[in-house]
């Protein structure tokens, strides 16, 4: 089990094996998720752009222009959908 010490300012150092496992680097952001069973999950909130490559470019999905996207957004905001 890995552990760390919390300073008087509430700061800690994430152990190197954890940083390497999560591929965390200086300046990266992390999320703390409180689970209902009392556990706390630490996960990177920084995504590599490669993770989302091709996400919207799939067969059968109609490509929209910027104007069409803005129109849809505008209509939904006017209806109160956010």
Q: Could you report the per-residue pLDDT of 15-58, keeping only the tens digit for each? A: 999 999 998 999 888 999 999 999 999 988 876 667 667 767 77
pLDDT of res. 82: 53
Residue 11 lies in a domain: no
Look up the domain containing 59 and give its range: 16-79
**Residue 24 resides in a domain:** yes
- Assess contact for 33 and 43: CB atoms under 8 A: yes
Would you say residue 3 lies in a domain? no
Residue 14 has pLDDT above 90, yes or no: yes
pTM: 0.53
Please report, for residues 1, 25, 72, the alpha-carbon distance to residue 79 in angstroms, rounded to integers and kept in the order given: 51, 42, 11
- Residue 46 belongs to a domain: yes
> Is pLDDT at 81 greater than 60 in this prediction?
no
């Amino acid at each position: 089990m890995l552990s760390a010490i919390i300073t008087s300012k509430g700061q800690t150092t994430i152990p190197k094996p954890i940083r390497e496992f999560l591929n965390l680097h200086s300046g990266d952001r992390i999320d703390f998720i409180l689970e209902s069973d009392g556990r706390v999950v630490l996960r990177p909130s920084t995504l590599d752009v490669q993770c989302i490559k091709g996400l919207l470019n799939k067969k059968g999905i109609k490509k929209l222009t910027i104007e069409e996207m803005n129109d849809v957004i505008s209509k939904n905001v006017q209806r109160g959908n956010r």
